[in-house]
Every structure is written in C-alpha cells, then in structure tokens.
Amino acid sequence: MADVTMPKLSDTMEEGKILRWLKQAGDQVAVGDLLVEVETDKADMEVEASAAGVLREVKLGEGESAAVGAVIAVIDGAGGDAKPATKTAGAAAKTEDVPAKQQAAGKESAKAQEKRSAPKEASGAKAGADEGRSAKERQVARPEAEAEPEPEDPAVPAAKPRPTSRPAAPRAASPARGAGGVKASPLARALADELGVDLRSVRGTGPAGRITRHDVEQAAGGAKHGSPKPAPASGHANAARPDTKDDVKDARPESADGDAKTPAPRDDATPASTPTEAASGVRRAPLSKMRASIARRMAESKREAPHFYLTTVVDMDEAVGLRAQLKALEVSRAGVTYNHMVLKAVADALVEHPEVNARFAGDAIEILAEINLGIATAVDDGLIVPVLAGADRLSLLEIAEQARALADKAEGGRFTSADLSGATFSVSNLGMFDVDSFSAVINPPQAAILAVGSVKQRPVVRAGTLAVRFTMALTLSCDHRVVDGARGGRFLAEVKRRLESPASLLLPREAGA
Amino acid sequence: MSAMPLATAGRTPELLVPGTPLAILEARESHPLACRWLGRIAFADALALQEQLVAARRAGHSEDTLLLLEHDPVYTTGRGGHAENLAGLGTDEGAAVVRIGRGGDVTYHGPGQLVGYALLDLRARGGDVHRFLRELEAGVIETLAALGVTARGWPGRTGVWVADPVVNPEEMDELHMRQGRVRKIASIGIGVRGGVSMHGFALNLSMDLAPFAAIVPCGLQGVHMTTVARETGRPAPALEAAAALAARHVGGVLARGLRVVPS
C-alpha cells in the first residue's frame, strides 16, 4: 500500500490543485504511468506514478487543492502483481532509444485515457500520454523502476515529502491535539503552536469560554512582544480596503497591548523608532509602519480622489432625549452613544442611497452589496479603522455593543483581519475633542467619509426666534468620481432626518421610516 | 515570414521544424535552444506542432525550442479554467474556444500578439516549474525593456504587468488592478508533459483589446489588459522584429537560467 502525495514540483510550491485524474479508482497503475494532472501557479503538470498496483482510493477530487505532501490517493501494491503491461511500460520508460516499443506502450495508455477525457479536450495531454512513460529521469534516480513495485514509495518525483510548514493532515488534526475538547479560535491554536502554549492551561475569555488569540498571548506572558509575525502596522489605510489580500499583514496593526507607542517589534529594532536629535535642532521621528501607511494612503486619496465637502447641522435635542431614556432603562450594558446613533443612521441611509456605498474602479463604479462601516479610531501612534460589518442588518443596540467591542480591541491592539478589512464607508468622530466640525480625508477606495463634530448646546433659529438646542455638525467628504453633489446632499439629508427623528433608529429596518 | 520547413541545427537533422531560425543559443550544460519564427499560424496547427516537438524532445530527437508566432483569433483556457470566465462570450464571437493542457484560466490570442512556446526538457534544468515560470517572466520583461516598456512580475499573479509610476511596486494590489493602474501586458501559462514543457507566453504588442472584454482574462475579475503600443504611445515594431528581440531575451534567460530567482 503506497500513499500518493501531492508532489513538490518547485521549491516554492506549497500546494497544488488536482486538474484531473488520468487513472480512476480501481485502475491498474504501473510505475511511470501518468496518474494525475496537477496545477501549481500557472503550470499544469502531469504527474507519474512511482508505485505500481491498483489505484485504491482517490482522496482529492478534481478542482480540489492540497498542501504539498498531503495524501491525494492510495495505490494498493498487493493488487499490482506486475502485469506484463507494467513491465513493458517500465522497460520502455528506461530505454529512450526504443521508440517503437514506446509507441506501443503509449498507445495503450492514450486509449485508456481517451475513454475518460471529455472528447473536447484535444490537448497536449494526449501526446503526453503517448510518451509519458519515458519521463523517468525526473523520478530521482530510480534504476529499480521496472523491478518490483515499491509500495512504500510515495508517487512523488522529489524526495519523500517531509512535513512542510503547511501540511494538511497535521493541521486538520490539530483541534484534537489541541487537547480534549478545548475551544479555541484557529488563530489562537496557531499562535499556541508557535509560542508553545498548552491550550489546556489557558482560560478562555471569548464567547462560551472560547480561547482567543489574546488569551494565548496572555498565557505566554512576556511572549506578548514576541508576537511571532511582527505586524507591519499598515492597519489604518489598508484597513479600509475591501480586498483582503494582505489581511494577515494588516491584521495586527500594533501587536499586543501597550505596544502602541512602538508599533511592531521590527520597528523596535530600528534605532529609527526613537526620535533623534539632529545637530541642527531638528527632531527626526522616522515613520512607523502605521505612519508610513497613513502617509501613503492619505496622500494617494488626496491626489487621486477629487474631494468635495457638504456640511449640515443636525438638531440633536431628540437624540439627546433618546439617549437619556435608553440610559435610564439600562437596556444596554455598553451604553448608546451619539456616535452609535450616527452609525445606525448612516447604515440605514446607505440602504436608501446605495450609490454612496460604492467605489471607483477605473472604468466603472462599483456599488457594494455589503454595508460595512469603518470607524476611525485614534490609537497612540495614529489611527486605525475597525470595521462594523453588515451594519445595515444590526439594531442600534447591536451596533452599540459591537462598536464598543471594537473600541476595546483597538485599545488592546487585538484585531483579527476581519475586524479591519472590507469597510465600504467610514465615520470619523472628533466630538470628544470638542471639535465643532471638520472635513475628513476619504479612505480609498471608499467613496465618502462622514466627519462628526461635538454635540452641544448652541444658539439656533427656530420658527423665527432664537433658541438654544443641542446640535451636531456633519460633514460629508465625497469622491466626485463616484458621488455628485446632489446625491451626496440627499444622502446627508437622510442621515440628518433619521437623527432628528431618532425613533426611526429603533425600528426594524423593514418598518424604518 | 516563411512557413517553409527548415532543418534545425540540432543533432538530429532528420526532424524538420518549420519556420525561420532566429537564434540558436548555447544553454547551460550545453543544451542548445533553437528559436524559430513561424509567422501567423492557426492555433490547432501550432498545438499539433508543439505536441510533435514535445514528443521528439522527450525521445531525444530534438533540442529545446522556443517557437515565436502569431495566432488567428482564438480563446484558450487551461484545464483548471472556470466556465464562468467565458460567460461573456456570445455564440457568434467568431473565435473558437479551446481547452488546453496549460496552467491558468481563459485568455485570448489574436493578431498583433507575440506568442512564444517554450518546449524545453525541464528535467535537464532541475525540473522546478515555478523557477521556469519566473524565467519566462524575466525574459518577457527584458524583451519589453528592449521595446521601451518598463514591466514587472507580480508575486502570486504570474504574468507580466505594467504599473503607473505612482504605484509602489511593492504594494501593487487588487484595487490598483481594478483601477487599471496596474495592467497586464503578457500572460504566461505552461504545461509539462513527461518532463517537457509546452505553451509559454503571449505578449500584447499592438492589438485590438476588445476580445478580452468578453472574458475574465486569467480569471482575474476587473483586470485591464494593455499593449506595447498603448504603453509607449507609438506604433509597436513589426511582430517579426519583436520576435527577434524575444528570441534574444527570452531565449537568453532560458539559456543561461536566472542567476537569482526572485522569491
């Protein structure tokens, strides 16, 4: 019995995709027979069997991928009592200078293959099958190829696969190994593996006692800073990118707690991290990863996206009242803030005005189905934008709780990639700094950002007389390539309307005003 | 533009390979690489020739060969290609769709595109397929440089790309691609049959890009294709002249190998 494993066809190959099986379960397989076509990167490789017998089991279907070294099929050597065909194939394979024999052997296999391949697939594979058996050299010096089948040998051209950094099986097995019945997030498990933390000794603080990454870091104690993959702290700007290619990179903007001042361990290593006193009296503070990222993305935004700004003043008297009532009722442990109300109003208004929940894509405007709100959040060395995903489906109280949880995470620097990616619209609030109003820079590739000022009593004219009301200024920055003034204005008016009639924020969406 | 069969200068004069010899490059470990210009040739004919040459190469009856040519309009897709990426194709597009044994998803070939098929015994070169893909990229990038276009590879997105100057090459991302600030100028996809490679690259010299609009090229939603002519703002050189450059540069990289393989 020989396991056929995903071959390593390149030093840089980590996984491969099965394109098609050239043998099916139950087929006789000879050493050197074309067994399967594997795709890695942009290469489509025929892979030969290096064991003979009956293909007992095909573990990976066409179109499925597996890590290098993972078992993709099993060849049962017992069934493979060296049929003549096998011998012929082997012999032909070895002696390249016997083309006649080779052709004969080839035809058989080509025929067999034709039966299975879709008629349309007129391709090089057939020609490949013709001569496939000669392709022996790659099989790392196997002079005994035509001798007895070697059930132990995996059908891999390269050396026997050692467990690689991402072996499929061990990973799959790890929940079990992770100690009987321990509940932990995949991230936490991976981290525990890396830091050598026994999950059984960790107390989980997640939902239902689930162990989170943070718990593992805590348990690892000083290992906090040793967060194994130093985080390029490009969190902020990339945070807002819906494309999540570099999520992992962005996932930990500032490593663990207390790291905020000196973002990533890697930065710590550079003397650059500390401002240096130059002779001229200029203090140079070299950019942290986060600062560099902010600099790049914000400059890109101002350079590429033509901004315009719309400001409106919202009468917040009713909202102040609602907040007081909710507080008195103690309906939410988290407490509902004005910003939560703004988030809710924005989410609902985006449902009504999907053209604002969009992005510029070169030759098209893409309207996004998901409404994911980025919440610009200050941290010590800059800001990050955690994301409230699916905000349109959340009630005000759910928004309050989730936004609070995100803020807590921001403080602790404990973000997962999901927390920072995919925002479609952002809200930035500087009200707590007593900023009356301001204009924010759009976070590319989003089309707009709402800047929220402080809520306080101000003189206003109501019904022809001067009155004192709670007001709040909202300034919408729009990318003119996506949103025109009228559209932006309608959207902003909708946000204002909802905040001025805050009961609408409590209604389920279908009933929403 | 001769389609006249000519004997190669290899060790086995009995095998006739059509086309005009462009160069014979002495490769490492003394495997010569013959580069030939075939002119315009139907996809099916070129495929048959490739299969013939692969078989011969495997049997030791021919040397490593780089075929340079131009196709009649045709859509091809790798075996791993997804049907939905062809969804935009009407029934009356006039171009055939051929499913072939190379890596990668759907692409288009047509007049004004320089196609290179690299039929090499990879076993003699260590058999590392990714390395081979990187060598093809490097050769195409050199060729483009000779044509006045600065292009680059994109780790994880095999092929050759042109980026706007504002885009930091280290940070090319999906959005840049969708916005057309990073554009694809050459596609790469190979098959390996019994240790011998086939297929190769397709470099857009000066061609109508409209046929790409009907498909999702390479399975990359939102990708923008470009051409040498577009990038330089000048008419591109004749295909045969570009083929001569490709013979020198792609052939050169394949012959000497990459000294440093970009990680």
Is A124 part of the contact surface with chain B (CB cutoff 8 Å)? Answer: yes
User: Which pLDDT tens digits describe chain A residue by residue (513 residues)?
Assistant: 788 999 888 888 888 999 889 888 889 988 888 899 998 888 888 888 888 899 988 888 888 888 888 899 999 875 444 433 333 233 333 333 334 444 444 444 444 444 444 444 434 343 333 333 334 333 333 333 333 434 444 443 444 444 444 433 333 333 333 344 566 766 677 677 767 777 777 777 665 666 777 777 777 764 434 333 333 333 333 333 333 333 333 333 333 333 333 333 443 334 444 455 556 788 888 887 778 878 888 899 999 999 999 999 999 999 999 998 888 887 766 689 999 999 999 999 999 999 999 998 888 899 998 899 999 888 777 778 888 989 999 999 999 999 988 888 777 666 655 566 688 999 999 998 899 999 999 998 899 999 999 999 999 998 889 999 999 999 999 999 999 999 999 999 999 999 999 999 998 765 444
Which of A45, A130, A245 lies at the smallest CB-CB distance from B173?
A245
Taking an 8 Å cut-off on Cβ atoms, the answer to whether B193 and A46 are in contact is yes
Taking an 8 Å cut-off on Cβ atoms, the answer to whether B51 and A131 are in contact is no
Q: Same domain, yes or no, for A375 and A486?
A: yes
Q: Same domain, yes or no, for A313 and A206?
A: no
The 3-state secondary structure of A400-428 reads HHHHHHHHHHHHHCCCCHHHHCCCCEEEE
Query: Is B218 labeled as catalytic in the residue annotation?
Result: yes
Please indicate, yes or no, if residue A262 is contained in any of the structural domains.
no
Is A121 part of the contact surface with chain B (CB cutoff 8 Å)? Answer: yes
Q: Which residues of A touch B195 (CB under 8 A)?
A: 135, 137-138
Provide the residue ranges of all domains of chain B, joining segments of one domain with +: 31-256
Smallest CA–CA distance from B122 into chain A, residue: A138
Q: Which residues of A touch B157 (CB under 8 A)?
A: none
- List the domain range (segments joined by +) for residue A8: 2-146
Taking an 8 Å cut-off on Cβ atoms, the answer to whether B158 and A41 are in contact is yes
Q: Same domain, yes or no, for A426 and A326?
A: yes
Please indicate, yes or no, if residue A157 is contained in any of the structural domains.
no
Residue A147 distance to chain B (closest CA, Å): 20
- Mutation to test the B interface, candidates A42, A117, A238, most B Cβ within 10 Å: A42
Chain A with chain B: Cβ pairs closer than 8 A: 173
The CATH number for A200's domain is 4.10.320.10
Short-list B97, B104, B98, B107, CA closest to B81: B104
Q: Same domain, yes or no, for A198 and A313?
A: no
d(CA A438, CA A241): 23
The predicted-structure confidence for A453-489, as pLDDT tens digits, reads as follows: 999 999 999 888 999 999 999 999 999 999 999 999 9
Short-list A10, A152, A8, CA closest to A66: A8
- Cβ atoms B160, B184 nearer than 8 A: yes
Short-list A89, A109, A78, CA closest to A2: A78
Is A19 part of the contact surface with chain B (CB cutoff 8 Å)? Answer: yes
- CATH architecture, range B31-256: 2-Layer Sandwich (3.30)
Q: B33, B218, B228, B254: which one is catalytic?
A: B218
Please indicate, yes or no, if residue A406 is contained in any of the structural domains.
yes
Residues 370-409 of A with CB under 8 A from B: none
Residue A302 distance to chain B (closest CA, Å): 13
Taking an 8 Å cut-off on Cβ atoms, the answer to whether B47 and A296 are in contact is no
Torsions phi, psi of B244, nearest 5? -65, -40
- Cβ atoms B203, B146 nearer than 8 A: no
Short-list A240, A236, A200, A234, CA closest to A216: A200
Domain end residue (candidates: A146, A165, A195): A146
Please indicate, yes or no, if residue A421 is contained in any of the structural domains.
yes
Q: Same domain, yes or no, for A195 and A131?
A: no
Amino acid sitting at position A444: P
Is A122 part of the contact surface with chain B (CB cutoff 8 Å)? Answer: yes
Taking an 8 Å cut-off on Cβ atoms, the answer to whether A131 and B59 are in contact is yes
pLDDT of residue B204: 97
Q: A81, A198, A243, A484: which one is catalytic?
A: A484
Smallest CA–CA distance from A299 into chain B, residue: B166
The predicted-structure confidence for B107-123, as pLDDT tens digits, reads as follows: 999 999 999 999 999 88
Length of chain B as a residue count: 263
Q: In Å, what is the CA distance from A488 to each residue of A180, A402, A447, A500?
A: 55, 27, 10, 18
Taking an 8 Å cut-off on Cβ atoms, the answer to whether B179 and A130 are in contact is no
Strands A425-429 and A373-375: parallel
Q: Please report the beta strands in A30-113, taking only residues with DSSP state E, as ranges in sequence order.
A: 34-40, 43-48, 53-58, 65-67, 71-76
Residue A76 distance to chain B (closest CA, Å): 24
Taking an 8 Å cut-off on Cβ atoms, the answer to whether A241 and B102 are in contact is no
Whole-model pTM? Answer: 0.46
Taking an 8 Å cut-off on Cβ atoms, the answer to whether B174 and A296 are in contact is no
Domain count along chain A: 3
d(CA A240, CA A253): 13
- Mutation to test the B interface, candidates A10, A35, A39, A44, most B Cβ within 10 Å: A44
User: Is the ipTM here above 0.85?
Assistant: no
Taking an 8 Å cut-off on Cβ atoms, the answer to whether B127 and A138 are in contact is yes
Provide the 3-class DSSP secondary structure of residue A365. Answer: strand
Please indicate, yes or no, if residue A285 is contained in any of the structural domains.
no
Q: Same domain, yes or no, for A34 and A116?
A: yes
Q: Same domain, yes or no, for A329 and A467?
A: yes
CB atoms within 10 A of CB B27: 20
Please indicate, yes or no, if residue A241 is contained in any of the structural domains.
no
The CATH number for A415's domain is 3.30.559.10
Q: Which residues of A touch B101 (CB under 8 A)?
A: 37, 44, 123-125, 128
The predicted-structure confidence for A349-378, as pLDDT tens digits, reads as follows: 999 999 999 998 888 899 998 899 999 888
Smallest CA–CA distance from B201 into chain A, residue: A42
The predicted-structure confidence for B64-122, as pLDDT tens digits, reads as follows: 899 999 999 999 988 777 877 777 776 555 567 888 888 888 899 999 999 999 999 98
The CATH number for A54's domain is 2.40.50.100
Taking an 8 Å cut-off on Cβ atoms, the answer to whether B129 and A19 are in contact is no
Short-list A407, A417, A96, A81, CA closest to A238: A417
